[in-house]
Amino acid sequence: MFKHWKDNVRANVAACSKGGKKAYSWILRVETNDITDDAMRVCKRKWEPLDAKIRSALLQVATGEIRTMFELLTEEEHVQHRRQISGAYMLRMVYRRFQTKNSLSQFYDYADLAKVTLRGDAFLEAFLQEWRLKLNGLERPEVLPPAARLEMFVRQLRGSPLLKYDMEVYKRQDDLDPHRAYETLVRNVERIIREQRTLKVQSQLGQGGGAPPALPAQAGTVCRYYTQGTCQKAERCEMVRRCRQEGLCEGRAGWHGRTEGRWQGRRQARWRLWRWRRQGR
């Protein structure tokens, strides 16, 4: 979640600035550990409008302990230096709050990568997306050996029925380059994902969004539900009226009509009785 929030921050900063790529490079300085915190306190005049927007946005969304931290930092900057606090420095303090020790950052990154598991062939695309997300989030990806990355990836693919043939080919290959073998397996996974996506789209197109509407009955068609005495439309049934007009309904249809008229007569009699009692007669 925090990595996703940082991605949104970078995108929003670049979107609200006219600097484009330069603004994106400028906001990346907040995440660079080689730049000290004191260096972020003072902003260049070129970036002051963008820095003010970051400061205003952080003050509006901050709550709880982070808001209290901003208040203390703002007061400290005002008392000691008689200036406003830098928005980039405020953002750096937020990153510092959620940062682990530098000596353990790589350990936590590897632990997050090891937690990515393939739950089944139906979740193959979600697995690959999460795997790439964790790899891109490594603070120092060059430290991860290619052989270790390949072994972690292969361990998740061994139980996949769809990748059974690809895994057999991988076992028989003579190529000992782990980087090239890893790229080959990734391409095979992407191929299967495209095939699954194509089958899903074809099935959705085949359904057509539901069953087509029913065509009107031909002239002279007798309602089978009416002849059985289970028609729920009663006198509103078009086929009933049509067959009555053409003299096609006999037997149970006529009985159904007489029964309907009899119930109407009873309802009218009950209505007259209710009105008579209401008037006190």
Ordered DSSP codes for 235-251: GG-HHHHHHHHTT---T
The pLDDT, as a whole number, for residue 239 is 67
Is the pTM here over 0.85, yes or no?
Answer: no
pLDDT at residue 254, as a whole number: 44
SS3 210: coil
Buried b (16+ CB within 10 A) or exposed e, 106-128: beebbeebeebebeeeeebeebb
**Residues 6+ away with beta carbon under 8 Å from 189:** 124, 128, 157, 163
| pLDDT confidence of residue 72 | 92
Q: What is the pLDDT of residue 190?
A: 92
User: Which parts of the chain register pLDDT below 50?
Assistant: 103-104, 241-242, 248-259
Q: 251's torsion region: left (phi>0), alpha (psi -120 to 50) or beta?
A: left
Terminal CA-CA length for the chain = 78
What pLDDT sits at residue 212?
55
The pLDDT value given to residue 15: 87
Q: CA nearest 7: which of 27, 36, 37?
A: 27
DSSP 83: S
